[in-house]
Chain A
Amino acid sequence: MRILVTNDDGVHAPGLGALVRALARWAKEGGGHEILVVAPLANYSGASAAVGTVYEREAVGFRRIHIEGAEAIEAYGLDAPPALTVVVGAFGAFGPTPDLVVSGINLGVNVGRSILHSGTVGAALTAAQHGLRSLAVSLRSQPVPHQWETAAEIALRVIPAVAAAPPRTVLTSTCRRCRSTNCAGWCRGVSATPAS
């Protein structure tokens, strides 16, 4: 499975780093998975599914990025909003078309009406528009320190279900800290929740 990782907080954001490190470990253990990062160079929070002024640009610049702790993962920072990173990824600009797009980990919950405005979710919805499956991942901004690993671990658990789902399936996952044998912190559990 080939997974494209993006976000809206920018390619240097800690949430993306945590997600990529978790995916890199998972891919190494599971075998056969490829991880590609194409994320905005700047913070595009609240950009929803904007692609910017594409009709005024013939090309979009990018830079190769090194994700700390996941140096083997191919990663690029694109001078573009999250949705456009997905579009160029879906068109195979950086290699084969991905099977799945994972967007996040966003700092701040993506629930209720905010879903419409979220760049994290906008990227996931853009993936669906291109026939791909996708997962948007976010973490509550309080309390600190932010427990990125919790959101990343939940994402790892959810990814197989999304990957096996019908094309254009979009799931969004939001959490805070969790308490289990695997995660420090606390969480009451996972529930399927209607959008408020």
Chain B
Amino acid sequence: MKGAHAEMTGGDAGSVGLVLGTAIPSLGDTSGEDPSDDAALVAAGYASLTALRGVAEDHRPEIQAVVERAVREASRLLSP
């Protein structure tokens, strides 16, 4: 997706218009696509193969520091 805008249509109801982005022209806006990424390559007629890790714990040191800070803050709440 490349955009979304909300509009009230009456009373408390409304509608969010979706601007779809895609590497495939028939599906939507192709501007801004990286010509080397998987979607663009498929659109250009290639097959793509990409290794995925799925949902995994974030072990980066800078994120562990965030976790430690969060634990400290939350632990204060739980201290008797």
Contact = CB atoms under 8 A, between A and B. Distances in A.
Contacts of A189: 75, 78
Interface of B: 1-6, 12-20, 27-28, 54-58, 62-64, 66-71, 73-80
A26 interface: no
Contacts of A165: 62-63, 66
B76 to A, nearest CB: 7
Contacts of B77: 153-154, 157, 178, 180, 182-183
A51 B25 CA distance: 20
Interface stretch (A12-20, A53-61, A99-107): A53-61
Nearest to B12: A64
Interface stretch (A27-35, A88-96, A139-147): A88-96
Contacts, number: 122
Interface residues of A, number: 49
Interface of A: 54-55, 57-64, 76, 78, 87-88, 91-94, 115-116, 121, 125, 153-154, 157-158, 160-162, 164-166, 169-171, 173, 178-183, 187, 189-192, 194-195
A61 to B, nearest CB: 5
